[in-house]
Structure 1
């Protein structure tokens, strides 16, 4: 479990035309700055039952349908149950690491299989950030929004058009506001 350094962030930001402070803000808002669980050493995941149903509609209900958002122990129970039923669908239905890139984006970020993407991300937080940056660059509108620091559009392209409604439901600050606040800490 290799930790991310400020040099890693700076290198990847510079190589991809992204301001260091903007990329640091993205990392903070997406994962709180952690790619691995400090207790277990496992990669941070967010299993998405709704995506698993789309990828494996034949799967019966089970523990995978009852994950506890943001509690890694519950996420891993749900993920492992889904993985037992359909490994590929489970990995595709899970976001991983520092930047929480969804597994179904594996080809977009340069991998032949979702398993290869997971193996790459499990090596280090730098690799996890690399995945996130690849995703950002592949989505030209998201990349441009991040370069311009248009936090509304960053939120829109990274989390979907209903990001504000979802924040309200979850009792959280909207993503664009969190990005602005995090960015202000790093400039």
Structure 2
């Protein structure tokens, strides 16, 4: 299977899960700029979250060797992978749970909700293709009735809230989703 997702595949996935193509395309655009893998390295796109790592590895302060992750902010993929690898060396499962991955940036800790036995199995599935990454996200959205309903209604503030948390306005997720939706809708009707 090709790693890159085609528009026809995205359309097929959106329809099969009961969502409008332009709505799903908007999330893909805002979350990852339509990329599931780094063009430079071929690695899956990630965002390591130190706050989550501290929740999953409660004794994190005892590890005095693997500390690079502690200084991580939202950064380029080189910085994200350095932080992730540092955390992974300390606790593989906690690191994978604490990282959003792929085209639609699904947090690793959602693995069980989506139907995986381990977080590593979810990562392995996502690393195969962007198609698989979108499947993960749409499966996760289906587990959250409020988010699913908001996505169908194109209620972008609610989508942003349920998808990105209460701080969504900090990064203007709602307005960015609305703009991306309008653009995708226009391109679809062109």
TM-score band, normalised by the shorter chain? Answer: over 0.9
State the partner residue of 2:56. 55
Question: Shift of residue 57 of structure 1?
Answer: 1.7
Runs of 4 or more above 3 Å deviation: none
Question: Shift of residue 177 of structure 1?
Answer: 0.4
Secondary structure of residue in 1 paired with 2:100: strand
1:80-135 CA-to-partner distances (Å, cap 9, x unmatched) read: 01001100000000000001000000001110000000000000000001111111
| Distance of 1:110 and 1:103 partners within structure 2 | 12
Give structure 1 stretches of 5+ with no counterpart.
168-173
State the partner residue of 2:188. none
Secondary structure of residue in 2 paired with 1:46: strand
TM-score by length of 1: 0.93
1:9-46 CA-to-partner distances (Å, cap 9, x unmatched) read: 11111111100011111100011000000000000000
Matches within 5 A, 1:160-175: 160-164=165-169, 166-167=170-171, 174-175=172-173
Question: Shift of residue 68 of structure 1?
Answer: 4.0
Q: Of 133, 136, 146, which residue of structure 1 is paired with 2:138?
A: 133
Matches within 5 A, 1:18-167: 18-60=19-61, 62-164=67-169, 166-167=170-171
TM-score by length of 2: 0.92
Q: Of 161, 177, 180, which residue of structure 2 is paired with 1:179?
A: 177
Aligned residues: 180
| Distance of 2:144 and 2:96 partners within structure 1 | 21
| Distance of 1:152 and 1:38 partners within structure 2 | 31
RMSD of equivalent CA atoms = 1.1
| Distance of 1:162 and 1:41 partners within structure 2 | 30
Question: Shift of residue 186 of structure 1?
Answer: 1.2
